Amino acid sequence: MSKNKRLQDFEKVIHECVKCGVCQVHCPTYQAEKKEGAVARGKIALAAALLEGQAGLEERLQEDISMCLMCGSCVDKCPKKVPTNEIVGAVRREITENQGLSRIGKTVSTLLGSKVLMKTLSKSGAVLSPLVLKKIPETSGLRLRFPLALMKDRTVPKIAYRNLFDRIPEYTEGDSDKPIIGFFAGCSITYAYPEIGEHMVAILKRMGYSVYLPRSQKCCGIPALSSGDGKLVEKLSEANVAAFADKDVQYIITACASCNGGIGEYYKTMKADYGDFTAKVIDFSVFLQQQGLFEQLAGMDKWPERVKVTYHDPCHLKTQGITKEPRQLLQALPNVDFVEMDHASSCCGLGGTFSVYHYDVSKAIGARKIPGLKESGASRIATGCPGCIMQLQDSINHAGLQVKAVHILDLLAQALGK
Amino acid sequence: MDEQIVQELIEIVGEKNVSTAQADKITHSYDATQEVHLPDVVVYAARVEDVSSIVKLANRWKIPVLPRGAGSGFTGGTLPVHGGIVLVLTRMDRILDIDTENLTAEVEPGVVTGELQRQVEKLGLFYPPDPASKEFSTLGGNVAECAGGPRCVKYGVTKDYVLGLEVVTPTGEIIRTGGKTLKNVVGYDLTKLFVGSEGTLGIVTKIILKLIPKPAAKKTMLVQFETIAGAAQAVSAIISAKIIPTTLEFLDAATIDCIRDVSTISLSADCKAILIIEVDGEAQLLDEQAEQILSIISPFGILDTRIAATDKESEEIWQVRRIVSPSLGKINPDKFNEDIVVPRSKVPDMICALEKISMDYDVPIVNFGHAGDGNIHVNVMVDLREHGMADKMIKVMDEVFAAAVNLRGSISGEHGIGTSKAKYMSMELGAETIGMMKKIKNVFDPNNILNPGKIFEDTSLQTAGK
Ligand SMILES: Cc1cc2nc3c(=O)[nH]c(=O)nc-3n(C[C@H](O)[C@H](O)[C@H](O)COP(=O)(O)OP(=O)(O)OC[C@H]3O[C@@H](n4cnc5c(N)ncnc54)[C@H](O)[C@@H]3O)c2cc1C
Ligand code: SF4
Ligand code: SF4
């Protein structure tokens, strides 16, 4: 039996949609396209038609279903809490499995097939040296996002020559009276932004914790989920749950909002016994707040030269209600002047693999962040998700602003000094 | 659908704005009534010339055209009940001008109400009409339905703010009505005729709106009452004291039962009615006004009064009002939501009449709404799977509307007639009045192209062919 929910499992909630249209306000793809097929309400109507077995839906249905970042913004504000992001995931899996409907298959899932991918990648030697590439597992979500690197005009991070696993030992011993914290780094941090991972470990160590960074951890599964590869999601979830079972970890900390949404939120919806694992998953900002770090920081002398920093809400934190902690952390930092921006909570536009096949829409969604960012006068936009950092920097570069997208942990590490 | 028509449409707006794909038909087949009628073709237009060409084409082919905004209508206004072309206007969404000297704004119809409000408020101005759907409904849809909201007690409804329009008539001419001035008596007031015409007399492609200065401050109060009668008397007392608050919203006992568990503000077990009262104006006058109101209503059995001191607390009070709609499903799965309106002094009588209907037919009726302007949202909550319930509902609705009309009220305050209420029109309007309206429709739209099957019950107007 599949561990992922099937479309049928959503039949009841699909019929709970009252067609009010509230989701239009919160859906980034609708805001960019102003088209009913792009909004949650439209996708739910299509999912309902699919369940009824209506014929003749293939092509446009796939296009509409592809027009979703699975960000969950609609769910948050829906009076009926219809989980459109999960429903879209189920439809995509249905499409991938069902050979009759395989247009998304062509645009997205084939990126999974390593042969096609390898062929494309081999043309991009300049960006990805084969040596580096060899170290990125076949199943990594980064591979699904790699085509980004080939896209014209696209700002992408360099893949680090020495990844996080080369830099940090699997187990770092802390004080004997402090528990072990598991660190789920995720592909982006492990391979593209290992410094963020180093900061995370350094801070935990400083607080006296032992840190366990199991080598057997895999991609969280969000890119595979977004491209409709249910089998791969299943495989990854099993591997990740197993990876942290070897040690008695008190928490499994993440510094990547997408990963948190994957191993925390998505695994919760799976038909599997993952409760013990998902209960331990915690975002770094929530963890640091619980440990009283914010008060400590607030007690430090403010630096005379501070940078003006604003904050972008990653969808995967926002939809869990984690909006205060990251802001409080930034406000407490002695090296930072925190300012709010308009549209702080609107999606950056990356969305799993969305950006790969809808780069124009993705760019349009990203561009919506720019006026607010400009008005805020900030020189840094901080966030808690490396995916957002990459996309925000791309939008900023297109707009020609002199702003840098950073991780909150970069600023925290700076404040604490090495 | 004739392939030739599709070809001609493509010539007008381009291939990517025309679709006959089944999936597109499905996603343009509904509105907030949850009824479903598939169109024959979906078209997105972005220019007035294109709208005009499409309407002319429709006249040639005798095929219906359905203007569509956000599709948040509650009476089926945008549903293609006779098939045809759904013409989507959401991409005509530019704010063309905000004139801070003349206090006007000029917008395209696809602009979302809340977005205009935010933009004008940045400039110290105010566009008051505030339907609960303002964050997603379009101004074109608001004009077509003459939308209203809580603030209308003091500030009036959409029609009070429309100064001029650009309209594509049902035969495809582009006309302009009214203008940028507050006064204008040149010829018939076609502007007012188009406002509230539910997309049956013309397609609005540009709107000139009146703006007012933004009130300096506001004060929000939530008052809990022992009885619904007490709350109703309080409303009458406020109005007869010649005080016009910005909003005067009420929730009845059944509504309160639905939200008690989810409300962040604690609601007493004895509380049988709530009034949410807001006043606005110069900050220093507000305290006095609030006190005056509270002293006027003090004899009517008040359990608790909460006055918001900050914007955040005010938001918290409004949240109580906003959770109402989504919380109702708890009683029964099927909701019949009507928005009758009675003269303000008759609100207590209407509430009594509704209580009686609820008892007589043994169906739960949940009431809340805009007490200050007599607009009551009547929600009859039933389970249609129950044997005989559908027939019973027909009688219940008849009685609800009859009660409103008997009190010299009206069967719809905000949502319009569309398809949902067409058959009740004759309760309120005489045959001559309806006849005159039909004649007007006929003059504007001889081929019955624009939004056929709406407002008027019988389709004795020739139905548009396919
Ligand atoms: C949750 C919720 C709350 C609501 N609250 C309120 C409320 O408080 N007050 C209120 O008044 N209404 C309310 N409504 C109803 C609805 O939002 C309004 O009627 C709104 O004005 C409809 O706008 P729309 O853009 O969604 O129009 P649509 O539903 O798309 O269309 C409505 C009608 O307008 C016509 N139309 C649309 N655009 C044009 C145009 N450019 N030219 C000519 N005709 C056009 C259509 O043909 C149709 O007949 C609510 C609806 C919902 C779902
Ligand atoms: S907000 Fe929820 S209930 Fe309303 S239309 Fe969207 S999905 Fe449906
Ligand atoms: S998950 Fe995001 S992109 Fe998808 S329908 Fe909901 S709000 Fe829109």
Residue A99 has pLDDT above 60, yes or no: no
**What tens digit of pLDDT does each residue of B303-350 get?**
999 999 888 899 899 989 888 877 887 788 888 888 999 998 898 899
Amino acid, single-letter form, for residue A24: Q
Quote the CA–CA distance of B419 and B75 in Å, as a whole number. Answer: 6
Contacts of B299-302 with CB under 8 Å at 24 or more apart are B300/B225, B300/B230, B300/B231, B300/B233, B300/B234, B300/B237, B301/B225, B301/B226, B301/B227, B301/B230, B302/B223, B302/B224, B302/B225, B302/B226, B302/B230
- Residue in A21, A46, A56 closest to B136 by CB: A21
Residue A104 has pLDDT above 50, yes or no: no
Closest C-alpha residue for ligand 3 atom 8: A27
Yes or no: say if B41 and B18 are a contact pair by the CB < 8 Å rule: yes
| Average confidence score pLDDT of chain A | 86
**What tens digit of pLDDT does each residue of A219-244 get?**
999 988 888 888 889 999 999 999 99
Mutating to test ligand 3, I would choose from A88, A319, A362 the residue with most ligand atoms within 8 A of its C-beta, which is A88
Arithmetic mean of pLDDT, B33-55: 96
**What tens digit of pLDDT does each residue of B371-426 get?**
889 999 999 999 888 999 989 999 999 999 999 999 999 999 999 999 888 889 99
Q: How far apart are the first and last CA of chain B?
A: 7
Quote the CA–CA distance of B148 and A112 in Å, as a whole number. Answer: 51
Question: How far, CA to CA in Å, does A245 sit from each of A171, A174, A239, A249, B450?
Answer: 14, 19, 10, 8, 66
What pLDDT score was predicted for residue A107?
Answer: 44
Yes or no: say if B365 and B253 are a contact pair by the CB < 8 Å rule: no
> Distance (Å) from the C-alpha of residue A159 to the closest C-alpha of chain B?
38
Handedness of CA B431, B433, B439, B445 (dihedral sign): negative
Residues of A in contact with B326 (CB under 8 A): 79-80
Pairing of strands B365-370, B247-252: antiparallel
Residues of A in contact with B141 (CB under 8 A): none
Residue A101 has pLDDT above 90, yes or no: no
A375: Cβ contacts below 8 Å, ≥ 6 apart: A341, A342
A97 touching B (Cβ < 8 Å): no
* Structural domains in chain A, sorted by start: 7-99 (1.10.1060.10), 297-415 (3.40.50)
What pLDDT score was predicted for residue A2?
Answer: 84
* Structural domains in chain B, sorted by start: 3-90 (3.30.43.10), 95-213 (3.30.465.10), 217-325 (3.30.70.2190), 332-406 (3.30.70.2740)
What pLDDT score was predicted for residue A277?
Answer: 97
Amino acid, single-letter form, for residue B112: V
What tokens does B426 get? 């004759």
CA angle (B131 as vertex; B324, A73 as ends), nearest 5: 65
**What tens digit of pLDDT does each residue of A340-359 get?**
999 999 999 988 778 777 88
Quote the CA–CA distance of B347 and B373 in Å, as a whole number. Answer: 9
Residues of A in contact with B109 (CB under 8 A): none
Beta strands in A174-288 (DSSP E): 180-184, 210-212, 249-254, 281-283
Closest C-alpha residue for ligand 2 atom 7: A41
Global pTM value:
0.90
Residues with CB under 6 A from ligand 1: A 20-21; B 31-32, 66-74, 77-78, 89, 109, 131-133, 137-138, 140-142, 144-145, 147-149, 198-199, 203-204, 414-415, 451
Residues of A in contact with B44 (CB under 8 A): 35
3-state secondary structure A127-178: CCCHHHHHCCCCCCHHHHHHHHHHCCCCCCCCCCCCCHHHHCCCEECCCCCC
Question: How far, CA to CA in Å, does A107 sit from each of A101, A104, A161, A233, A316?
Answer: 12, 5, 30, 19, 24
Amino acid, single-letter form, for residue A209: Y
Q: What is the DSSP letter of B138?
A: B
What's the ipTM?
0.91
Yes or no: say if B379 and B335 are a contact pair by the CB < 8 Å rule: yes
Yes or no: say if B56 and B172 are a contact pair by the CB < 8 Å rule: yes
Quote the CA–CA distance of B390 and A55 in Å, as a whole number. Answer: 32
Residue B35 has pLDDT above 50, yes or no: yes
